[in-house]
Structure 1
Amino acid sequence: MGLRRMGPCSLGVFVLALVSACTWVWADGSRYAMTHSRSQFVHWVFLYDANGTRIDPTDPAAPPYSPRRTCGRCHDYDAVAQGHHFNATDVNALAGRPGEPWVWTDNRTGTQLPLSYRNWPGTYRPGDAGVAPWDLLLKFGRHMPGGGPGEIAGPKSEEPSDPDGQDANAGGAEKSDAGTKIAATESRGRWPLSGQLEID
């Protein structure tokens, strides 16, 4: 039976089957991941590190990605940093409705202290309680979206006060060109404290 002898219904079924097969083969070879829906992913971006170098995701020793360098190529990073989730350290930001504070505990003295960068009743600002930004990140960083205390500039001598040395530089102190220890306020080599120093 040739194509001329097919009826309109049979020809339609044949064309539909052919188009479906071509679509399946094309989708299988696509460089885009499948969403299993009719729409594609919203973003297809390359990741960049803090130096603006493109990251090879297959490299096991790849550096962490930088939201500032990756997302900042298209989005206003500084404007996003002023959002409520990231602006707690800004003394001029509105406190918003009270939420749960960070509860700082000191096993040696048995102290529990509610901390918040926001001006909430019954809480203390971390700096007023003697808690450095890096100490706060070391203890609570896994619960933070990035930014905030991870990007606070402070005195160059500021170091985490953790006596166990649970610092990101566990392999040894990172040295600058002058041979001095890089300050805790710099993000180089310190991203494991929270996994996200910049907003994410």
Structure 2
Amino acid sequence: MFRTAFAALSTAVLLSATPILAQETVEPVFGEYLQPLGLGPFQDATWTGYEQEGWFVLQNTTQPTAIRYYEMPLMNADGTLTLRANVYARNDDGEGVAATGLLYDFGDEYSTYIAFLLTADNQLMAINRDVEEMDVIYGDADDPVGRGDGSDVLEVRISGTQARMYLNDQHFRNYDLSHRPFHDRAGIIAVGTGRLGFWGLSAQ
């Protein structure tokens, strides 16, 4: 059951049209948590990226179906990975979806992935983008919610073909990744319009 009708409607709007995808491949980031991403400022037809007091912010004011992500090879040789990022999402105009989070199981051939995101209204969502479709899961009423003050930490703990997702150390969902070849690439993702911020990314 979706947390709100608005959330379901917003996602329907996002997925009813072909998403405008922008992908960047960047260097791997391993090591301690809250390591700055070091991504430089840029501007294209849809997105503006900039640094603000240590945050890397992606801003989109025009395209409600826009998705931008940065991916990199991050899996450890033993098939385990803990992926973390400090995130926030602001929806300046109150329309559509604004969400930010982690990307994993990224398949370069067809741009398939699983995303774990926090929305501007502090709800959790997960997107499974397969070869043919995008499946979206929202949190239920008893799932964790974000604080919205910039202190929210998203985490994905991957071991073998199991991925467990957490917000501020509170469990959200598990994904069984055995239904298709698991890919070793992961990163960050921004969805929709608004200001979508990342403090840092760690992969351990």
Which structure features the higher share of strand residues?
Answer: 2
TM-score range, shorter chain: under 0.3
Structure of higher RCO (CA pairs closer than 8 Å, 6+ residues apart): 2
Q: What is the TM-score when the length of structure 2 is the normalising length?
A: 0.26
TM-score, normalization by structure 1: 0.27
